A = this chain, B = another copy of it.
């Protein structure tokens, strides 16, 4: 591929880290400690399902700017109440920060280390900056820059996020490539002039969940993991 790509901006939840497995695991540990019987996979899916509607309330102006830690906590409190789970404040606050401790997909860290010598590596996530910084320290993610929707007070797929990242990195949009497991995110980035790399993560929503709809050839790069991404961009 001919290109002048200087930096890669990574979507995080589902693209770099496996939120579902991480939440199931911490839910199981919490349940074992407190004697709770729960379907933690369903809990994880419900927590994640609350995310887009919560961001939409910010986008629409119904809520003032609210960062993801707070949106996650609102969803968590509702799920706990619906299920009759009583957690004390320390346990609830700790469980809410599971999003700071999400584990990378098995190929993520090695792939990023292969890409880092040649490209500036940035996050470009709807997660708040402190969440992304904590996750990087926990998971060993070697970012050069932690960029968040929080810096622009707009959530993806608003164009302010993609164009704001290019501006802060002092790049033209076509010098910046978004890496994401979500076609909708990539389409919004492409509409702003960014290059796009689609990484398929068929297990993001669990085994058997339908993959997102996309058309082969729609994105500049289409790969199965970060190792293939590093090879494609070598």
Binding stretch for chain B, among A71-79, A125-133, A220-228: A125-133
Number of this chain's copies in the complex: 2
In the assembly, what is the distance between CA of A119 and CA of B168, in Å? 25
Contact mask for chain A residues 111-142; partner B; CB cutoff 8 A; 1 contact, 0 none: 00000000010000000111001101100000
- Whether a CB of chain B sits under 8 angstroms from the CB of A88 is no
Q: Is the CB of A120 within 8 A of B144?
A: no
Q: Is the CB of B151 within 8 A of A144?
A: no
Residues of B within 8 A of A204 (CB): none
Interchain nearest-CB distance for A67 vs B (Å): 8
Contact mask for chain A residues 140-172; partner B; CB cutoff 8 A; 1 contact, 0 none: 000011100011000000000000000011110
Q: Is the CB of A136 within 8 A of B144?
A: yes
- Whether a CB of chain B sits under 8 angstroms from the CB of A69 is yes
In the assembly, what is the distance between CA of A207 and CA of B150, in Å? 43
Q: Is the CB of B146 within 8 A of A144?
A: yes
In the assembly, what is the distance between CA of A20 and CA of B71, in Å? 47
Interchain nearest-CB distance for A160 vs B (Å): 14
Q: Is the CB of B120 within 8 A of A169?
A: no
12 contacts between A and B (CB under 8 A): A69-B170, A120-B137, A128-B170, A129-B168, A130-B169, A130-B170, A130-B171, A133-B144, A133-B169, A137-B144, A146-B146, A151-B168
